[in-house]
């Protein structure tokens, strides 16, 4: 099994099928190093784009909505 990030040349640790964090359900082969990096990226994304509106979100401010409802 080959890490999807092998082209970078910095793989480390065991390569295994990891769950897709984007919700596709397709397992992705990543080494331990790149899996940890992907988890950090997802954590940053989740902080930046939370699923619920922040307490200070005001839909009247710019006429925008947090969700599609």
Neighbouring CB atoms inside 10 A of 31's CB total 22
pLDDT at 62: 80
Do 12 and 33 contact (CB within 8 A), yes or no?
yes
pLDDT digits (tens, 9 = 90+) for 10-65: 999 999 999 999 888 899 999 999 999 999 999 999 888 888 888 888 888 888 87
pLDDT at 69: 61
> What gap in Å lies between CA 44 and CA 28, rounded to an integer?
20
pLDDT at 64: 81
Does the pLDDT of residue 68 top 90, yes or no?
no
> What gap in Å lies between CA 51 and CA 12, rounded to an integer?
32
Q: Which two tokens stand for residue 61?
A: 């401010």
């Amino acid at each position: 099994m080959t890490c999807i990030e092998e082209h970078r040349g910095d793989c480390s640790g065991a390569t295994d099928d990891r769950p897709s964090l984007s919700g596709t359900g397709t397992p992705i082969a990543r080494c331990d190093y790149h899996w940890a990096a992907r988890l950090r990226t997802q954590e940053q994304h989740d902080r930046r784009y939370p699923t619920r509106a922040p307490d200070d979100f005001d839909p009247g401010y710019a006429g925008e909505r947090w969700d599609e409802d």
